[in-house]
Each structure stands twice: as structure tokens, then as C-alpha cells.
């Protein structure tokens, strides 16, 4: 059996469904580290290294495959797929649509991170096309969620200018449109689908001061969605993991420069028991 065979979607555990508890989070992390899900990342050029390292630290396997034709081929064997619109050049956009269609064809969860939509025309138009392919999870900040729903103009580049709670209506509209999960990142993260909603508390603001802090969360969400078998539970687990690990990293660093490696170490050292004990869900 090849490495790719061993971590294909069919080898992941049975899904979590219904409400998500702190105990569920620990179980999902255990599943993830046992399965080592293969995450295909079609992401922006600024964050590829940090994203790959975050997945490796977590216990997943990254693959940055975004070339057309290969993107389709790889999505069919990946456990999860990330489509991140940070630097959406033409060839990559074609690969992204291929990967999303292929993921849907084989039942693999894919995550859309609509970076800076609303403020910029090319990615905003493309995000609309991607939404038609019904991502399992949309992961974005509040301003991006509002813009994607067509009720706002976006934030200041990649930075949100809206509060998380102000994006709740837009998030619900997007969840209804895709039939999936929407995760709104902020000081308190809001994760919801058509019938469930959880707020994930905690985390460190230092995540906003390193390159890739938000974008890598999309890849981690894809890994957790694959391990959970339920995009909603996976998104909650991913955001909880980021909150717990970033708080641990902040305690042992002296600023953004030392935070980034400390955060990778914390992703690796956080145990299922730590996650279940320290995650704060409301």
C-alpha cells in the first residue's frame, strides 16, 4: 500500500455528527494524527512554507499541487483540499476549479478561503464561481464573509473591518447557499451551518502579526474536516486547536519573531487531552 493509499479519505474514521463537545475535539485530533490526512493546498505564494509547516506540525501531510490537470488528479487522492484566493493568478484559478470539482466528485471536503474578496475585482468574481461548487467549509474573516454574501464591500485588504457577530446573517446565508459550514474568524470565532452554531473563545492576537497565521488555518480546517468526517465538527476542532496552540505559544515567546516557531511547536505538542481540557466552546 502506498502512502497516498494509506491516507486517502476512505481510510479515515467514522464521522462525528450533531453537537460538538470538548471531548469530541480530542477524539478528532486523535483520529487526525492516526490518519495523517493528505491536504492539497492551492494557496497563495506568500504563505506556502508556513502552511506546509503548520500541517506537518499538526500531524497531517501537505501537498502544494495547483497546476491544471495535476490539480484534478491530486484532488481525487487527497483527504482534504484548500482553495485560498490570496494570489490567484490565471493558471492557479483554473487548477482551483479543477480541484474543487474533483473533490466533490469523490466526496472529499474542500475549504474555500476567499482572501480579500470584495475589495478586489478578480478574486471577488472568481469567488462567486467557486461558491457555485459548494465548498464544505468557507473560512474567512467577518468582512470577507459579508462581501462574499453580497452585503458588503470587504475589508482593508486581508484585514477585517467588521465584527464577527455582524457577519452572522451573512454567514447563515452562505451556509444555506452551499449546504455546508461557514467559519468566521476573529477575537471569538463563530462556526455555523444550517442547524448548529458554536463560538470558539481564546487564542492570541499574535496570529495576526505573522505571515500565514490565518491562511494556514484554512489548511488545518481541511485536515480536521477530513478526520472528523463532518465539516462542521472539523471546523470547530481546527479553530479550537488554533486557539489553544496560539495561547501556549504566546506564553513562551517574546514577540512575533519567536511566536511563529513557538506556534508550530505548540501545534505539535498539544495533545488530545490538552485540546479537550483547554478549548472553550459556547
Q: Which cell numbers hold the place of 167?
A: 457577519
For the purposes of burial, counting CB atoms within 10 Å of the CB of 69, is it exposed (0-12), middle (13-18) or buried (19 or more)?
Answer: exposed
Tell me how far apart the alpha carbons of residues 132 and 130 are, in angstroms, rounded to a whole number.
5
pLDDT at position 159, please?
Answer: 59
pLDDT at position 2, please?
Answer: 32
Q: Which cell numbers hold the place of 233?
A: 465538527
Q: Which cell numbers hold the place of 254?
A: 517574546
At the fourth CATH level, the homologous superfamily of domain 21-281 is Ribokinase (3.40.1190.20)
How crowded is residue 30: how many other Cβ atoms within 10 Å of its Cβ? 18
pLDDT at position 160, please?
Answer: 59
For the chain, the structural domain boundaries read 21-281
- SS3 category, 273: helix
Answer yes or no: is pLDDT of 119 > 90: no
Which region holds residue 165: left if phi is over 0, alpha if psi is between -120 and 50, else beta?
alpha
pLDDT at position 16, please?
Answer: 62
- Contact by Cβ (8 Å): 259, 252: no
Q: Is 139 annotated as a binding residue?
A: yes
pLDDT at position 19, please?
Answer: 82
8 or 87: which carries more pLDDT confidence?
A: 87
Tell me how far apart the alpha carbons of residues 65 and 60 are, in angstroms, rounded to a whole number.
16
Tell me how far apart the alpha carbons of residues 124 and 265 are, in angstroms, rounded to a whole number.
35
Q: Is 185 annotated as a binding residue?
A: yes
- SS3 category, 93: helix
Which residues lie below 8 Å from residue 142, measured CB to CB, with a gap of 6+? 155, 160, 162, 163, 164, 166, 167, 184, 185, 186
Q: Which cell numbers hold the place of 58?
A: 499538526
Q: Which of 20-24, 80-84, 237-241 has the lowest mean pLDDT?
A: 20-24
Tell me how far apart the alpha carbons of residues 54 and 218 are, in angstroms, rounded to a whole number.
11
Answer yes or no: is pLDDT of 264 > 70: yes
Write down the pTM of the prediction: 0.92
Answer yes or no: is pLDDT of 274 > 50: yes
The string of pLDDT tens digits covering residues 122-170 is 999 999 999 999 999 999 999 999 999 998 655 555 555 679 999 999 9
Strand ordering across the sheet containing 38-42: 61-63, 38-42, 80-84, 110-113, 137-141, 181-185, 189-192, 197-201, 280-281
DSSP state, 67? S
Tell me what the mean pLDDT of segment 31-42 comes to. 98
pLDDT at position 220, please?
Answer: 98
- Contact by Cβ (8 Å): 280, 200: yes
Answer yes or no: is pLDDT of 37 > 80: yes
Answer yes or no: is pLDDT of 12 > 90: no
Q: Is 212 annotated as a binding residue?
A: yes
Amino acid at each position: 500500500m502506498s502512502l497516498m493509499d494509506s491516507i486517502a479519505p476512505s481510510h479515515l474514521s467514522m464521522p462525528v455528527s450533531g453537537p460538538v463537545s470538548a471531548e469530541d475535539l480530542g477524539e478528532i485530533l486523535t483520529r487526525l494524527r492516526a490518519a495523517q490526512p493528505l491536504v492539497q493546498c492551492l494557496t497563495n505564494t506568500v504563505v506556502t512554507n508556513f502552511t506546509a509547516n503548520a500541517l506537518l506540525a499538526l500531524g497531517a501531510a501537505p501537498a502544494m499541487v495547483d497546476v491544471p490537470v495535476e490539480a484534478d488528479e491530486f484532488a481525487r487522492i487527497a483527504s482534504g483540499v484548500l482553495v485560498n484566493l490570496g494570489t490567484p493568478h490565471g493558471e492557479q484559478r483554473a487548477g482551483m476549479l479543477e480541484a474543487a470539482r474533483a473533490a466533490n466528485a469523490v466526496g472529499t471536503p474542500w475549504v474555500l478561503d476567499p482572501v480579500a474578496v470584495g475589495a478586489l475585482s478578480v478574486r471577488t468574481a472568481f469567488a462567486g464561481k467557486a461558491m457555485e461548487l459548494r465548498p464544505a467549509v468557507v473560512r474567512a474573516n467577518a468582512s470577507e464573509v459579508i462581501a462574499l454574501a453580497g452585503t458588503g464591500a470587504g475589508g482593508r485588504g486581508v484585514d477585517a473591518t467588521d465584527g464577527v457577530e455582524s457577519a452572522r446573517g451573512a454567514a447563515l446565508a452562505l451556509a444555506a447557499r452551499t449546504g455546508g459550514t461557514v467559519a468566521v474568524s476573529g477575537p471569538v470565532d463563530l462556526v455555523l451551518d444550517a442547524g448548529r452554531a458554536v463560538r470558539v473563545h481564546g487564542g492570541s492576537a499574535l496570529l495576526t502579526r505573522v505571515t500565514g497565521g490565518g491562511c494556514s488555518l484554512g489548511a488545518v480546517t481541511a485536515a480536521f474536516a477530513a478526520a472528523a468526517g463532518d465539516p462542521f465538527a472539523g471546523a470547530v476542532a481546527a479553530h479550537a486547536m488554533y486557539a489553544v496552540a496560539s495561547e501556549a505559544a504566546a506564553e513562551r515567546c517574546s514577540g512575533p519573531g519567536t511566536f511563529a516557531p513557538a506556534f508550530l511547536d505548540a501545534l505539535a505538542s498539544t495533545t488530545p487531552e490538552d485540546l479537550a481540557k483547554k478549548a472553550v466552546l459556547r
